[in-house]
Amino acid sequence: IPLSSGMILLTWQKIAPTALLYQISPSLNMEILIMLAILSTMVGGWGGLNQTQMRKILAYSSIAHMGWTVIIAMINPNLMILSLMIYIMTTLALFMTLNLSSTTKIKSISNLWNKSTPMTMIVFLTLLSLGGLPPLTGFMPKWLILQELIINNNPTMAIVMALSALLSLFFYMRIIYVSSLTMFPTNNNLKLHWFFTQMKTTNLIPILTTISSMLLPLSPILITMT
């Protein structure tokens, strides 16, 4: 499917089921939620390890993130909404960047260095934020969810969820590692023609990238809101 359609499937389509979960959260079964969350994070993590298509990787990443969203639905529904909002903003920034650069495969990201280094850095930042690497914004919901699980006497689930997050972070890091090693040092300015030509972009990409990577210092404010 086109990247724009994939962006809608992974963002807008999650709002309705999440709103339903929010409304029925007091009557949910905690054991079923924990089982579904663990299955989602494990399937999303393992499934993305053997993929080379960015759309498939982001699809498995979406499954893993829904596991984090579901497990906190009964304990703190407001935190579930916060997690979904951060995921949607980060995913929008990533998909819009990939769509502008027509990047659909991992090997295409390595060629993106020559087209636009700023866009490559945006892809890297958003991928690391999706993986929950501190000090980026994506670390905040995972940190708060693990904290809530521990407070509610579920340290085992917190450990399992933290370990499962390493699977997603691994294939994000693998994308960055492979892409960053394909830009060899050179004195030829033709390989850096992005510096001399202006690519088409939108104002939303810098805004969404800033939100998806620099909101961690606002954690105390967001904690009081949830």
**pLDDT at position 195 over 50:** no
**pLDDT at position 185 over 70:** no
pLDDT in tens, 51-98: 888 888 899 989 999 999 888 888 888 888 988 999 999 999 889 888
Tally of CA atoms within 13 A in the half-sphere of 52 that contains its CB: 4
Question: Is residue 190, in this structure, part of any structural domain at all?
Answer: no
Question: Is residue 85, in this structure, part of any structural domain at all?
Answer: yes
CB atoms within 10 A of CB 207: 12
Question: Is residue 196, in this structure, part of any structural domain at all?
Answer: no
Question: Is residue 20, in this structure, part of any structural domain at all?
Answer: yes
From 168, 138, 170, 172, select the one nearest 41 (Cα to Cα): 168
- Structural domain count, the chain: 1
Average pLDDT on 199-203 reads 60
Question: Is residue 191, in this structure, part of any structural domain at all?
Answer: no
Confidence of residue 196 (pLDDT cuts 50, 70, 90): very low
Q: What local confidence, expressed as pLDDT, does residue 106 receive?
A: 80
Structure tokens at 219: 């954690």
Structure tokens at 68: 């984090």
**51: helix, strand or coil:** coil
Compute the mean pLDDT over every residue in the chain, rounded to the nearest whole number. 82
Question: Is residue 207, in this structure, part of any structural domain at all?
Answer: yes
Largest CA distance in the chain: 64
Domain span at residue 132 reads 3-182+202-225
What is the C-alpha separation between 88 and 91, in angstroms, rounded? Answer: 5
Question: Is residue 168, in this structure, part of any structural domain at all?
Answer: yes
Contacting residues for 35 by C-beta, under 8 A, at least 6 apart:
none
Question: Is residue 77, in this structure, part of any structural domain at all?
Answer: yes
pLDDT in tens, 27-47: 888 888 888 888 999 998 888
Q: What local confidence, expressed as pLDDT, does residue 191 receive?
A: 52
